[in-house]
Amino acid sequence: ALHPQELRSRCFWRGVLAEAVATLIFMGVVLGASVDPRPLAPALAGGLVAGALACTLGTPQANPALTLALLCTRKLGALRGAAGLLAQCAGAVLASAVARLVLPDDAGLVTRVSAAGTAGQALAWETFATFQLALAAFATADQAAPQGGLALGSAMAAGALAAGPFSGGSMNPARSLGPAIITGIWDDHWVSRWPPWLPSRDPNVGMG
């Protein structure tokens, strides 16, 4: 249910600001590490910064996929969830714009389906990686910061390493949306954007 009175709460706006700042920091770290062509650097960077953010900013999702999961399970209010999604996208776009100015080229910004497999395989690995990340986030929601941050960061790094060779290992629609908006490159963007519980619109999925 919508509760407009939430808009008057400082706690509400602190949470929204935390989502924007956390997504900005997460994106900045991952995009910087993605300059390295090897998959290990962005995977470790993403895992480390996810764990650090969980310990310092009060477990923000910084990920539309996790926010949508909380909304679907009614663990997050509709107004808070919608505001969080907008904040996450804004933080991702801002981080991508800054990264494009300071990085040598756009190669590390955009997540792409790898030549290692088909588009269907990329979707399968991205779905699996996002699922295990969401599972870790739900399981550690009530744990103390050090333990929860370690589990969440480990799940992020593991998912990126597993799915990276196929889909880029985004596990975060904001990670793919921000650079796509800034660069105008939307190739295979549906793999990270399209909700994994819905059938894909891409005609190649399930073929090959």
* Residue ranges of domains in the chain: 4-192
Radius of gyration of the chain (CA): 16
CB atoms within 10 A of CB 22: 26
Nearest 5°: CA angle at 158, between 128 and 64? 55
The residue written with tokens 């009175």 in the block is 5
Q: What is the largest CA-CA distance in the chain?
A: 53
- State the amino acid at position 138 in one-letter form: F
Half-sphere exposure of 65 (CA within 13 A, CB side): 28
Model pLDDT for residues 61-120, shown as the tens digit of each residue: 899 988 988 888 888 888 889 999 999 999 999 999 999 998 877 666 777 666 566 778
pTM, 2 dp = 0.82
- pLDDT tens digit sequence for 141-177: 776 667 888 888 999 999 999 988 888 888 898 988 8
CA dist., res. 170 & res. 175, Å (int): 6
Fold of 4-192: Glycerol uptake facilitator protein (1.20.1080)
CA dist 197 and 36 (Å) reads 32
Least Cα distance to 33 among 132, 122, 107 occurs for 107
Among the listed residues 59, 45, 206, the one whose alpha carbon sits nearest the alpha carbon of residue 127 = 206
Residue of 55, 63, 43 whose CA lies nearest to 177: 63
Cα separations (Å) of 193 from 41, 83, 150, 202?
Answer: 23, 18, 26, 12
Is pLDDT at 128 greater than 80 in this prediction? Answer: yes
